[in-house]
Structure formats: structure tokens, C-alpha cells
Structure 1
Amino acid sequence: MMLLAPVLAAPAAAAPRAPLIWAFGDSLTAGYGVPPAQGFTAQLQAELRRRGVAATVRNGGVAGDTAAQGRARLRWGLRGLGRAPDLVIVELGANDMLRGLPAGQAQANLDRILTELRARRIPVLLAGMRAAPNMGADYARAFEGMYPALARKYRVPLYPFFLDGVAGRRELIQPDGLHPNARGVAIIVRRIAPAVQRALE
């Protein structure tokens, strides 16, 4: 009698998992004042997909958050994602500056955020901010200098100014004089998208 050896089907190759990006910040990443479909995360996801990157961008922005408040919610925010993100865009510090909080305090809290993400081996793109002119030269040097200092310390890529191309252009800012409108968000997204794509790679 001839025995027929069982034929084992080769397992199908698993489809590559789509990258997950978490935009962790304040009102600028939250999309304050614009419809959800025109906010930063929605526009960034659409822009990345136009570039051939099938990423999902989750909104981790909370309007009004300082770096300390971001630090306080970091762990539960990560748990809420369901899995470790492939990239976290850290965009915090603007509210510290607007409230006149010490730059060293903001830097210490950003440092703790980056420490936590490094411990979890989560890649980071750090987004910088500029100080308002009325804060004075000494404050501006300390505040603006903390972002490149942290990027060097943690060896993470730095996007120097989140509002690049938008700040100072009244037609791209909402009536509050602070937050970008939908057109402004589109410019932010077009400018930051290459840095996000490089950070993912």
C-alpha cells in the first residue's frame, strides 16, 4: 500500500503592518479651531499616503497642555493606542512659553518625556518652537536652545520650528492670532512631512 505524505501548506506571508504615528502635543497637533478633517493629524495622514506611506496618524494633542501636563499623561496616552507607535511626534513647550514659565522647567519635562520614550524604544521626531518677541532675548535663547540640546542628548531628529512658513502670516492664522487655520495647517504638514517620513525610515 502506498502511503501519501501529508502536504503541508506554506504559511502565507503576513502583510506588513501599517506604521502608527502618534502626534503628541498641544493645541497645534490637536487641531484647535479647525474641523477634524482639516486638523494636523488628518492632513498629515493624507499627505503621507500621497507620498506612498500608508501610515495611520493618531491625535495625541490636548489644547493648553504645557510640557508638564504632557508628561503627566504620556503613559496612559501610550496605553490608549493599543500598541507601541512606530513614531511619536513630540510637540510641546509653546504653552510654557506663552505663560512665561521658566524654560528650564519646560526642558526638564521634555527631558522626562524623551527618557520614557527611549526606555520603550519608541522613535521620536522632536518639533521645536520659537519664543514670542516680547519674551526677551535671554528667554528666547534658553527656550529655543532647549530643543536642539534635547535632540542632541537623545539623538533624535529635530524639526526646528513647527510653525515654519506660517508664523507671522496673518492670512494663515485664526483670529486669535495664535493658531493656524486650515490653510496654515496644510503648509505645516507639507513642510514637516518629509521629516516625518525620514524619521519613520
Structure 2
Amino acid sequence: MTQGYGLLQEEGFTAQLQDWLDAAQSDVTLINAGVSGDTTAGGLSRADWTLTPDVDAMIVALGGNDVLRGTAPEIARANLAGILDIAALKNVPVLLIGIDVPENYGTDYKSQFTAIYTDLAAEYDTLLIDSFLRPLTEIGPMSEVLNTYFQGDGIHPNAKGVSIIVQSVGPSVSDLADQVRARSAQ
């Protein structure tokens, strides 16, 4: 979703978030390292070389494709912990963004997978947003939300949906930028 699947580049999450940050005069430049269809394992495999010296902070928004594939929660947790370990080694603050887990694999799977994000955010002292899509899913009846804010696949938000997500995520990204500035001032 961060890569911008199915959207024009200027309609995607990173472009819209960059516009939001520019309007807020945040002096932040985003780099889109999202990969369409990515899993926590893919993110872990790229984390070390993605966090080059010019990267001051990282947003980790992975897990949705793990759930779609039925990945065991403990595997996803280990992959996300590995990403956070690499960020900690490189002294890069993180904003961790969770997902809403459906009950397709049962309530135990849902609760175990959902807990990954709050547990890791506490363990690694990261900023946390509970769910990437929650700003959309809380709008109203899901049938209306799907028709108005999602692409035809019912999974990926359209440009209007991304705009709502950005309005919700933007303040936390500003907080992440403030953490970077505070570290630089020390």
C-alpha cells in the first residue's frame, strides 16, 4: 500500500504524504522503499541496505501480505523484530504501523497477529499507529467505504482513501521527524 499499487505516482501514499508534510512545512523528504506485495520477510531482507546513512528515520508498514498468505504470527513477529533490530543498530527511529487483521484464520490468529505491533512498539520504544487502514474502516458501513475509498480489488485504497489515511498518519510522521531533529540537536 505504501508503494502505491494501482495508483498514479502522485496519487500514492508516499507522494500524498510528502505533499502533506510540505504543506505542514516539516522539511522532510520521503523515500518510497515500499514494494508491492511485500511481506515482513521481504522487508527484513532489504532493511540493512535500505537504511543508508542518508536515512534519518523509517516507517515500517508491513504485515498485510503476511496475513493474506496465512504466515504464522511468530514468523511475522520475528521478521519485524529483525527490522527493528537493524534500525536500532543504525540509530534510526521508527514509526511502526499495524494492520487490522480479519478473522479468516480464527480469533487466536487475529489476536496474536494484532498484538505483534503493540508488543514490538513497546519493546523497541517506537512510535505506533495501530492500523494503516483504520481511518477508512471507521468511516461508516463497509459496503459504502469499499465503493468510495478502495480500488476494485477491495484491498488497496484509491486516491481518495489514501488522502484520508495521510491525514491520519501525517501527525505521527511529523512526530517522527521531531524525534530526528531532537537527536540531531543533542
Greater Cα radius of gyration, structure 1 or 2: 1
TM-score, length basis structure 2: 0.89
- State which of 10, 29, 40 in structure 2 corresponds to 1:56: 29
Matched residue SS, 1:125: strand
**C-alpha distance in structure 1 between counterparts of 2:151 and 2:18, whole Å:** 22
Matched residue SS, 2:33: strand
Matched residue SS, 2:136: coil
Conservation of the 8 A alpha-carbon contact between 1:84 and 1:122: no
Conservation of the 8 A alpha-carbon contact between 2:28 and 2:177: no
Q: Which runs of 5+ in 2 are unaligned?
A: 179-186
State the partner residue of 1:196. 173
Instruction: Note the C-alpha offset of 1:86.
Output: 1.9
State the partner residue of 1:99. 69
Matched residue SS, 2:71: coil
Counterpart of 1:130, as a letter, is D
State the partner residue of 1:150. 120
Matched residue SS, 2:31: strand
State the partner residue of 1:44. 17
State the partner residue of 1:117. 87
Aligned pairs, number: 171
Looking at secondary structure, tell me which structure has more helix per residue: 2
Superposed CA offset, 1:14-52 (max 9, x none): xxxxxxxxxxxxxx1100001000101110010011111
**C-alpha distance in structure 2 between counterparts of 1:183 and 1:136, whole Å:** 31
State the partner residue of 2:149. 172
Instruction: Note the C-alpha offset of 1:133.
Output: 2.7
1:29 aligns with 2:6: no
Instruction: Note the C-alpha offset of 1:78.
Output: 2.6
Instruction: Note the C-alpha offset of 1:73.
Output: 1.4
**C-alpha distance in structure 2 between counterparts of 1:150 and 1:78, whole Å:** 19
**C-alpha distance in structure 2 between counterparts of 1:146 and 1:89, whole Å:** 16
Instruction: Note the C-alpha offset of 1:190.
Output: 0.5
Counterpart of 2:16, as a letter, is Q
Looking at secondary structure, tell me which structure has more strand per residue: 1
Counterpart of 2:118, as a letter, is P
Identity over aligned pairs, percent: 42
Counterpart of 1:185, as a letter, is V
Matched residue SS, 1:89: strand
Instruction: Note the C-alpha offset of 1:69.
Output: 1.1
Q: Which runs of 5+ in 1 are unaligned?
A: 1-27
Matched residue SS, 2:96: strand
